[in-house]
Structure 1
Amino acid sequence: MNIDLSGKTALVTASTGGIGLAIAQGLARSGARLILNGRNEASVARGLQALREAAPDAQVHAVAADLGDAAGVQMLLDGVGSQPIDIVINNAGTYGTLDFFDTDDATWEHYWQLNVMSGVRLSRALLPAMVQRGWGRVVFISSESARNIPADMIHYGVSKTALLSLSRGLAKRVAGSGVTVNAVLPGPTTSDGFIAMLEKQIAGTDKTLEQAGREFVMTHRPSSVIQRPASTEEVANMVVYVASEQASATSGAALRVDGGVVDDIV
């Protein structure tokens, strides 16, 4: 399968590291023009360097904007300007363990604004033009935690479950238009934060990162079928496919790249 996104422009939020950067690299290698986004100029500079190392011929424009509130989303939209956006990957989000009874309203609001409302706002702004042109792709990066709610971060799980409702509802709202809307659900993945956590765990031991990753998965996600974390590239491969012409019959779907963590045949 040859995925060719030449002539398409893709906006990937929070794309200066981790899964977001891997998605941006995959889209760029497939020929898409990229709009890179990070919270500040320093992260954007690091992301641009990494992207150009992976895809030297990439056409890329970068916008620094923190999407944790409406003003930050508008800053991103202003930075995009009037250029048509064909693909939107809503990857911006945060996570962290916190007991339900210690999770205050401010924390719930922060997770809701960043994990959910950033995608709501961008979709509201960019979907109408996709519908008018008769082609577009919107992808929400959810999580296996949307279906396998973790007891130690319920606030996170709730925000990721909301993305499944949002993506399905939007797919139905633009039905028949040539625009598809889907959610991708990663499981444990070797993102920058995950690797940093493992490095702390193995400091002073003779364990490798690979060993630590497998142990983490089998301890915390024992239902995993692959019995290891996925790489960011493996998650990105699914997203690039969903963003392609070849995925034109896939819309309103919740596509798992969780290594089989969710024990479900559907």
Structure 2
Amino acid sequence: MQINFAGRTVLVTGSTAGIGFATARAFLAAGARVIVNGRSQQGVDDAVARLGGPQASVSGFAGDLATASGCAQLTAAYPDVDILVNNLGIFGPQDFFDTPDSEWDRFFQTNVMSGVRLAKAYAQGMVARGWGRIVFISSESALNIPADMIHYGFTKTAQLAVSRGLAKRLAGTGVTVNAVLPGPTLSDGVAGMLQADVQRTGDSLEKVAADFVAQHRGSSILRRAATVDEVASMVLYASSAQASATTGAALRVDGGVVDYLV
């Protein structure tokens, strides 16, 4: 099976690092025109340069997509895309009783409403063209709510509700909507979080990450953290022509962390 996105335009939000950057890179390698996004112009420019620059069919948009105005500016600059990957997200542990309303709202606006607004803006054009893909990057935390990040888990569950409902709303149009659920993944953010343990133990980052998975995600079958490229591969498949019969799905790339049969 050869997946080819020649002639397709892809927007990957939150794509200057981590899973988003790996996904943008994979789409570019598969022939797509790619739009990367981050909050700072410097970050976007650096990502575009690392991907090969404008000559490599990659462009960027700097803006805060947690706001309605940021989403409006993006859609004005790029009014049509064939594939929308709602990857933008924030996370961080905080006890339920110490989490203020403002933090719940910040997580909701960033992780959920950014994707809702962009899907509303782009889906109708996809329907008019008879083809399109919308992918929400959720998390195994949507099913396995972390006790120390309830406000985060709630947003990831909300993404599943939006993606499933929107898939049903777009039934029969040629536009599919799916969610991808990574588990523990060795992204830039996780690498930074584990760096102190790397320095303390002298072990490799991969070994420290595997120890973290064993300690905090004991149900893992993979017994290690996934790579960002492994997650990106699932996103590419869900966005491909070959996945035309897959819609309304929650596609797990969690290494078997969630102990569930389907």
Normalised TM-score (structure 2):
0.98
Q: What is residue 62 of structure 2 aligned with on the other side?
A: 64
Secondary structure at 1:237 match in 2: helix
Secondary structure at 1:203 match in 2: helix
Cα distance in 2 for residues equivalent to 1:58 and 1:172: 36
Secondary structure at 2:112 match in 1: helix
Q: Point out the more displaced range, 198-207 or 187-196.
A: 198-207
Q: Point out the more displaced range, 44-53 or 112-121.
A: 44-53
Cα distance in 2 for residues equivalent to 1:165 and 1:2: 31
Distance 1:243 1:57, change over 3 A: farther
Cα distance in 2 for residues equivalent to 1:30 and 1:244: 10
Cα distance in 1 for residues equivalent to 2:167 and 2:184: 27
1:231 aligns with 2:227: yes
Cα distance in 2 for residues equivalent to 1:178 and 1:86: 11
Conserved in 2, the CA contact under 8 Å of 1:34 and 1:58? no
Cα distance in 2 for residues equivalent to 1:244 and 1:213: 31
1:48 aligns with 2:19: no
> In the TM superposition, what is the alpha-carbon distance from 1:190 to its structure 2 partner?
0.7
Conserved in 2, the CA contact under 8 Å of 1:31 and 1:58? no
Secondary structure at 2:15 match in 1: coil
1:254 aligns with 2:246: no
Secondary structure at 2:172 match in 1: coil
Cα distance in 1 for residues equivalent to 2:111 and 2:125: 23
Cα distance in 2 for residues equivalent to 1:171 and 1:237: 21
Secondary structure at 2:261 match in 1: coil
Q: What is residue 15 of structure 2 aligned with on the other side?
A: 15
Cα distance in 1 for residues equivalent to 2:152 and 2:56: 34
Counterpart selection for 1:202 from 185, 198, 203: 198
> In the TM superposition, what is the alpha-carbon distance from 1:57 to its structure 2 partner?
6.2
> In the TM superposition, what is the alpha-carbon distance from 1:222 to its structure 2 partner?
0.4
Conserved in 2, the CA contact under 8 Å of 1:12 and 1:37? yes
> In the TM superposition, what is the alpha-carbon distance from 1:49 to its structure 2 partner?
2.0
**Aligned 1:1-266 pairs, distance under 5 A:** 1-52=1-52, 58-80=56-78, 82=79, 84-266=80-262
Q: Percent identity?
A: 56
> In the TM superposition, what is the alpha-carbon distance from 1:78 to its structure 2 partner?
2.1
Aligned length: 262
Normalised TM-score (structure 1):
0.96
> In the TM superposition, what is the alpha-carbon distance from 1:58 to its structure 2 partner?
2.7
Instruction: For structure 1, list consecutive stretches of 5 or more residues without a partner in the other structure.
Output: none
Conserved in 2, the CA contact under 8 Å of 1:29 and 1:58? no
Task: Output one character per residue of 1:208-264: Cα deviation in whole Å (capped at 9) or x when no partner.
Answer: 111101100000000000000000000000000111000000000000000000001
Cα distance in 2 for residues equivalent to 1:57 and 1:218: 43
Secondary structure at 2:16 match in 1: coil
Conserved in 2, the CA contact under 8 Å of 1:41 and 1:64? yes
> In the TM superposition, what is the alpha-carbon distance from 1:50 to its structure 2 partner?
2.1
> In the TM superposition, what is the alpha-carbon distance from 1:51 to its structure 2 partner?
1.6
> In the TM superposition, what is the alpha-carbon distance from 1:74 to its structure 2 partner?
1.2
User: In structure 2, what residue type is equivalent to 1:139?
Assistant: V
